[in-house]
Structure 1
Amino acid sequence: MGISERKERERAEREQRIIAAARMLAERDGWASVTVRRLAQEIEYSQPVLYAHFENRDAIVGAVSLKGFEELGPTLRASVPAGASPEEAIEAVATAYLEFAFERPALYEAMFVLPSGLRFAKSDTPQVLRETFGAMMGVVDRFCADAEVATEAFWAALHGLAELERHGRIRAAFRSERVRHIVAMFAKGN
């Protein structure tokens, strides 16, 4: 291995260490505690080293978000059992999405609430975001002619439910009933 390959590998490892430390701090202490200064202290790098990898905190949040989408897309796809009916498939994805939001609250917040610089439905949308959206669209398209718009509505409904429940605005005990209502709304459109 040449010097340039080693340096590139070391750079990538530093970047992954920064991302992991940001996620760990956010999970432990909340995103308000994730600052460039605190991250530098946590991983024992200088702030300029962090800025050599990430322009600002939002860029770090964006990198954490990308890791989250690498987890969410496969989670949604794996949630659908083989031979599931369209209604069972959409219910499985809705349930998996909400479980993801509640099992990984700091990661979910980075992905869907905090400024991250990531954009959906644009020419520069990262492939992993497209794949995650596709995992949702794959269960919605059976119900609607305009699958993209319907998937956006499905996603918006799930995100709204996740945020309302995460903040104690709706009763957690009725999550599965709400999911069944969403499934019924899509099934009626069929």
Structure 2
Amino acid sequence: MKSSGWLEVVAMIWRQIRTIGPFPGMVTVVIPGLILWLIGPGAGFDDLSTAVRAVAIGVGVVLLVLGFGLFVWTVALFARRGKGTLAPFDAPTELVVDGPYRHVRNPMYAGVFAVLAGEVLVFQSWTVLVWFAVFATVVAMFVPRKEERWLMDRFPDEYAAYRSHVPRWIPRPTGWTPEYAGPQRSGT
């Protein structure tokens, strides 16, 4: 790879890091960390048996790993296919309809939700569960009102077709391939 190719890769990685910290980093690391530090996990999980608590922690770790993996995958697709980041000020210039986006319109949020659910179980924290519920409610209101309108304005024909075939939250079993997909779209 030429040196200019490496510079482009480094620049894209920096663009991604710059947006991950303030957005999902705040939601999944800083705020839960502050909640646990200032308030503590809250009461409730103490009443469960040791075995049930151990299973909850195991399931939580699986959710953390899967959620983080899904998030990283979607960020990579935004960079590679969309030529942008998750931030509104540096958004993708192309509509991303690859990988998990073929099954559900909001896999990045699904990854963040899985990380938060994993944190609830690993830390056995009712207070983090409340944060998760608040965040999920805000996202459920924000996505249709703001994000989807913005996408319709930015990619009117492509997003209309995408929205009519791919559900917002519950993944479709088979991936959708848009008619406009050319050889640059792998379908995976």
Q: Is the TM value for this pair above 0.5?
A: no
Q: Which has the higher helix share?
A: 1
Q: Could you state the TM-score of these two structures normalised by the residue count of structure 2?
A: 0.29
Q: Which has the higher contact order (CA 8 A, sep 6+)?
A: 2
Q: Could you state the TM-score of these two structures normalised by the residue count of structure 1?
A: 0.29
